Chains A and B, each alone.
Chain A
Amino acid sequence: MNGWRTLFPNAWYIAIREYRGRVRSRSFVIGTVILAVLAFAAMQAPILIDAVAGGSQAKVEVVVRASSLPADAQTVLDQVLNGTPAPGSNQHKSFDLTWLTSDQLSAAQKDLERGKFAALLIVDRDASSRDLVFTLRTDLPADGRPAQLIGNAVTSLAIEDRLVRAGTSTAAVLAPTRWEVLPVNSSAAAPVNSLNQEISSSLLSTGLLVLIFMAIITYGTWVATSVAEEKSSRVMELMLNATTPLQMLAGKVIGNGAAGLTQYGVIIGALFVGLVAQGPLHRAALGGSDSGMAISGLTVPLLASFMVLFALGFLLYSLLYAALGSLVSRQEDVQSATSPLMMIVMVGYFMSVFAVQAITETWVVILSFVPFFSPYLMLVRVAGGHVQPWEFGLAVVLMLVSIALALFLAARIYSAGVLLYGQRVGLRQVLKMARVSR
């Protein structure tokens, strides 16, 4: 094991060869193009959502037969049904109201029957109580959201009508209510997150998790395949004479990792282009201004932590992938040989999916220090903002230690495994062989 001194330049040559071979392969080119197109398309999702939401607008005709409706009745209904628009925004309206007079009732009824409108609201005034009376004609479900919202709206209108009749001014009735939302801990200076921000940050950590998960599985398998390929094509024997197992391991991990990063770079580029193109495309497709989807919560510390965890996680797993790849003689067997490792990767990923909702739970905190799971769970904790710097540092140190161990172990398995052909080999057997050979 005198490889450290002489790791380079051979590891470098091997890495370059691996990188070129990988990047020029047809599967790499096709896969990258497909992923880039998907990434671009995913960025256009808000347009789709808006288009679908726009189509779900309920058109309601309102026939007023009641006399002396409050002056701002139209505003009240509109506000309760569609919410108060933020100043200057061109917000999507869930209800489109058409106001008609009593003589237009029969025409309105015909339009309703023809399906031009989803509902017909008739406003009357009770002769004895003088209260407003409402009738809604519609085939929408009576307990559905639109019907309920209309129910709320007409209740507000009826209350306003009573207050106005009792002598309260309209302005006083509609004066906005003061209320605010504060964090549980009143001394905390942090502002309460908006719902959008909350969703965005959990989407973000889920997205980053998927990135790590996919990278480890895909690029780890590349490493294992490339080892098995060299073994099955017998180039291995030439390589063994020219290089050391450590040089080969390092070269393969670096080369395939760089190819993986290249693919990621292209995908992230496509995401970015998609994000930039979103506005213009939105305007072209739907008209009006775009809602825009900013990535909030992507801070520099989070991005830096992501890159550190990504790199360390990839190193740790791909070393083990290389070791397992060296145990098989044929590329077809790579899948089954690496399946134990795949299980660990999957377990880590699924735990992290649950952890997003339970960042402060003890099991998440403890497991976030286990090197195999740190790339996921520590990332979730960082994204949630519940990590002390020393905790992150400890996780990184533990990962570095386990990478050193994995390197040592992988080099041993590798140097014994690469010359074993034919038989399926147990790990124990290989370790025994590794001790007696070099």
Chain B
Amino acid sequence: MSLIIDSVSKRFGDVQALEGISLEIKPGEVFGFLGANGAGKTTAMRLVLDILRPDSGTITWNGTLNSEAPRDTWGYLPEERGLYAKMNVLDQLVFFAKLHGVKPKDAVRETREWLERFRIPEYADRRAEQLSKGNQQKIQFIAAILHDPQVLLMDEPFSGLDPVNVALLKEAFLEMKDRGKTLVFSTHQMETVEELCQAIAILDRGRVVVGGAVRDVRRSTGRQVVRLAVDGDPEVTWLDTLDGVRVSRRGQDYTEAEVAPGHDPELVLQEALRRGCRVLHFEIADPSLEEIFIEHVGQIDTSERTLAPKAVHA
């Protein structure tokens, strides 16, 4: 009873877009795809949607092959937003819903409810081209969910949105989660992932480098992080001399250090007390997703190994 991607590979010409990725996404879960540009996130989603077919491997939803599953199983929010520029908002949302078999009357009612919730009810009769990018994004979200899909796949849903709209969209996400939908989205924004996701997969060059429940992923390195602040010694220079400890960041409020696997972070506190320091702050934590991402993928580079469409402006 879940979305299972089993050893799926996909090649475009010379580029191996996905290389034997396997994932299990549980029903009702919020799942995040992380990865640099060109890592294969968009390809993975298109494969799930059966817009593309894998070269090998299978994708099943609740035991049914994705190509056999009804099309209205899926709701899709593509990375490149697309609406009919000259068509008014209500008409095109009803059009998309009708294609999925929704009755026009229900589609109109649902659309008006969602426009109300997104605080843009007056845009129902505007042409799409008259809307701001953020508002078009909301329309796109409505288009993805009007037919009440079981699984919602969203490619970079938060990109290009201001904080208010991000908050509105997150709210809508959680609402869909409460309705028992399975949510899969890709993003660069680690804070959002830590806030919303139960499980993630980090993709790099077509492979899953690490995946699973967020907590497990954060613990997967075996490393731990200590944050320490002592009175009168903001640099805490002795920290680097400890075996298995490496300072990763010196901040105003505290100094952060990584403790290698097999070493006890408690030793840092003991050393501080041994040196007679007055400890103002001591904290043991798991590495953040961002650190893990950088560790696996390297710096979040912006150079593109792009297979997904580049924006084309006509």
B86 and A21 contacting across the interface, CB-CB below 8 Å: yes
Q: Of all chain B residues, which has the CB nearest A436?
A: B55
A346 nearest CB across to chain B (Å): 27
Task: Give the interface centre of B46, B81, B83, B309 by most chain A CB atoms within 10 Å.
Answer: B309
Counting CB contacts under 8 A, is A419 at the interface? yes
Whether A237 touches B80, Cβ cut-off 8 Å, given contacts A232-B312, A329-B312, is yes
Are A240's CB and B83's CB within 8 A? Answer: no
CA distance A240 to B49 in the complex (A): 9
> Of B51, B82, B86, B99, which is within 8 A of A25 by CB?
B86
Number of interface residues of A (CB under 8 A): 31
A235 touches B51 (CB 8 A): no
Alpha-carbon distance A242/B95, docked complex (angstroms): 10
Flag whether B1 is at the interface (Cβ < 8 A).
no
Residues of B within 8 A of A437 (CB): 52-53
Tell which of B50, B78, B85, B310 touches A438, judged by Cβ atoms closer than 8 Å: B50
Contacts of A354 in B (CB 8 A): none
A236 at the interface (CB under 8 A from B): yes
Determine the main DSSP class of B at the interface with A: loop
Chain B contact residue count (CB 8 A cutoff) = 32
- For B85, the chain A residues whose CB sits under 8 A away are 233
A99 part of interface (Cβ distance < 8 Å): no
Give Cα distance in the complex from A125 to B134, angstroms.
103
Cα of A233 to Cα of B49 in the assembled complex, Å: 20
Instruction: Say yes or no for A175: interface residue by CB 8 A criterion.
Output: no
Across the interface, do A243 and B99 meet the contact criterion of CB distance under 8 Å? yes
- Asked if A330 lies at the interface with its beta carbon under 8 angstroms from chain B, I say yes
B294 cross-chain contacts in A, Cβ below 8 A: none
A227 to B310, CA, bound (A): 18
Docked complex Cα distance between A9 and B104 (Å)? 13
Q: Which residues of B contact A419 (CB under 8 A)?
A: 46, 51-52, 309
Residue ranges of B at the interface with A (Cβ–Cβ < 8 Å): 46, 49-53, 55, 71, 74-76, 78, 80-87, 95-96, 98-100, 140, 143-144, 309-310, 312, 314
Residue pairs across A and B with Cβ atoms less than 8 A apart, 26 shown, are A10-B99, A13-B99, A17-B84, A17-B87, A21-B87, A229-B314, A233-B85, A234-B81, A234-B82, A235-B84, A236-B82, A237-B51, A237-B76, A237-B78, A238-B76, A238-B78, A238-B96, A238-B143, A238-B144, A241-B76, A243-B99, A330-B312, A419-B52, A421-B310, A422-B312, A436-B53
